[in-house]
Amino acid sequence: MKIKAAEFVMSNSDVAKCPTARLPEYAFIGRSNVGKSSLINMLMQRKNLAKTSGRPGKTQLINHFLINKNWHLVDLPGYGYAKVSKKSKKTFQKFITEYFKNREQLVSAFVLVDCRHEPQTIDLEFMEWLGENQLPFAIIFTKADKLKPKALERNLKAYQEKMLESWVEMPQYFVTSSTHATGRDEVLNYIEQVNAALDLS
């Protein structure tokens, strides 16, 4: 897939106010500081499409971007560690849940996982919640450039073993590096294939 156009549409915290267009949506979500904004910018080849920040927990709204005029990329707040008040954390965790449960345009979530760490309970629980609610998702392992190939292989194997304790099979996954654009084609081709299989008429 070639990215010909990527434009910001809107930010809000009310699922009812999300775009009404019947375009397929792909939601990107992960723990704070997982490298989500950098990944989105790398995929779209835009420097500042998604705002990157040294301060985890920066994204606190549902952000819609229109890609190639025919699908939406949705940047969702990170869960877990974030330097925001308990009250605002509770608020945005609520609208994340509402978004996933009520957004009919949602085709798939991409759950971002930092490949340098061992499986985190918060990620595993979130994926379990998606599974229980029959919400399709794929995993994107980020920051692959931060590990040597053997260590990366070892971490991915450990992750798969952990996932297979509660899943029949490992969900679709991608290994990425925002620094080296690793995995870019694979993620975009996957979205293109899913879009092609949908009836977009």
Which one of 3.10.20.310, 3.40.47.10, 3.40.50.880, 3.40.50.300 gives the CATH number of domain 6-196?
Answer: 3.40.50.300
pLDDT of residue 61: 84
**What is the pTM assigned to this prediction?**
0.90
List, run by run, the mean pLDDT of 10-residue segments along the chain (201 residues).
95 91 96 91 92 55 94 88 52 78 95 95 89 95 97 96 95 97 98 88 50
pLDDT of residue 22: 93
First to last CA, the chain: 19
Q: CA 78 to CA 56: how far, in whole Å?
A: 8
pLDDT of residue 148: 97
Q: Where are the domains of the chain?
A: 6-196
Residue in 134, 84, 33, 193 with CA at minimum distance from that of residue 92:
84
